[in-house]
Amino acid sequence: MDQTIELSQMLAARERRAQRQQELLEQYRLPLVSFTMNIAGPVKNSPSIRRGFRLGRELLRGQLLRVGAPLIFEEEIDEATGCEGLYVVQLSGAALKAITLEIEEHTDLGRLYDMDVLDPAGEKLARPSPRRCLICGRPAQECARSRTHSVPELQQRTHEILTAALDRHDAQKAAALALRALLYEVAVTPKPGLVDREGNGSHRDMDFYTFLTSASVLTPYFSACFAIGRETSADPAPLTFSRLRAPGKLAEGEMLRATGGVNTHKGAIFTMGLACGALGRMAPEDRRKPAALLAQIAAMTEGVENELAGLTEASARTAGQRIYARCGVTGVRGQAAAGFPTVLRYGLPVLEEGLRRGGCEDEAGAAALLAILSRTEDTNMISRGGLETQREKSARLAAMLADDPYPAPETLRALDREYTAENLSPGGSADLLALCWLLHFLKEEN
């Protein structure tokens, strides 16, 4: 439960902060940013307030990088009286004040940020215009002095601002990471039978730039999937999946329109859309946990493979349905309903171990792809070469990887020539590689 703070505690925190400011000014003789959150009411800290503070800190760091201003010293406090940050910057006080004003005036949470700038003499630099009230937009000091708005009203408005801004940021971040994962997947080179930076593999109708074009139109879809997950987070998980279906079809249309009818990312639209929807359903602290995210996807898609029951080759409308009717392979539906175990047990560990041991993205990514392919009934491979060919290729890969889980580029290029000559393409495994990248990027997030 969030802790209620007395006035005496806030006054003591303010005095401590002022004393620490003076110590830093005397030590460094440089301008100082004192960053706190403007939170009405007796509760000054909470998980959402802490997240809002961290966003403000990152905005400040980014702007300092933009102008090339060294951050000489930083100190942060996270207590019941609130989050505080003190930052000593090698930049003129006026330039630093201009930066903090832009953050306060032109960002989603800026109205909740107090970024005071003190010059080396300890003087607080003034604002050119007064801050505006959270509720009515009039000068905040006037409303505070006349007590125009009640504390509950201010608390409610603060909650609304925080919630909307954090949801918007989280949706944009999920979409950005999903896009990055797709770009990393296609960039991994060499990959057997697949489009990469060196060639088209077994594909005659697409190249590296087709994939870039396709990926570029999917960001709004990924953001919308996160928002749907957020909106339905209190509902049964299958409802989220049901709500994702129509946006997924629209995203497929956008992809095909962008590529002139070439199917580059149909599987990724399904897989990444599920992942972004699952992220929206999850608490922020759980989004960095691969097992939790994949379990959420499993809950969302529980029983989805049953949709294939009773299909015949005559009634099947998609390649995946035809393969099920012919071979009984449930494809990505079955993998999703099981929580993508191949990703969690093989693809992601191989990817991260490859990076940990100093391998580049190409080496680690290609190894993860092969690890997935060696353990997966890839429906793209089955569609092009049949079930027996797919199983034979997977068995050969498993034996090869047992001796060398991180094959050299020459070995990968030999596989690429073999798969291309036989018109084989492990596109389903490539979609799972993209999911591995997304899980990895989420784990790296601060």
DSSP 388-424: HHHHHHHHHHHHHHHH-SS--HHHHHHHHHHHHHTT-
- Cβ atoms of 367 and 405 closer than 8 Å: yes
Structure-token pair, residue 74: 């930083």
The Cα–Cα gap between 104 and 112 comes to 8
What lies within 8 Å, CB to CB, of 397 at 6+ separation is 370, 373, 374
Supply the Cα-derived Rg of the chain in whole angstroms.
26
What is the Cα–Cα distance from 353 to 359, expressed in whole angstroms? 9
Amino acid at 376: T
Enter the DSSP assignment of 2: P
Give residue limits of the domains in the chain. 7-131, 171-348+356-444
Q: What is the pTM of this model?
A: 0.93
pLDDT, residue 308, reads: 83
d(CA 110, CA 65): 19
Do 294 and 344 contact (CB within 8 A), yes or no?
A: yes
Return the CATH number of 7-131, one of 3.30.70.260, 3.20.20.140, 3.30.70.1140, 3.90.380.10. Answer: 3.30.70.260
pLDDT of residue 446: 64
- How far from 54 is each of 51, 76, 151, 252, 377, CA to CA, in Å? 5, 10, 25, 36, 43
Q: Can you give the pLDDT at residue 33?
A: 98
Topology given in CATH for the domain delimited by 171-348+356-444: Triphosphoribosyl-dephospho-CoA protein (1.10.4200)
Task: List CB contacts of 84: < 8 A, sequence separation 6 or more.
Answer: 13, 17, 34, 35, 36, 76, 77
Distances, alpha carbon 119 to alpha carbons 16, 30, 83, 89, 97, in Å: 19, 7, 22, 10, 10
The low-confidence residues of the chain, meaning pLDDT below 70, are 1, 446
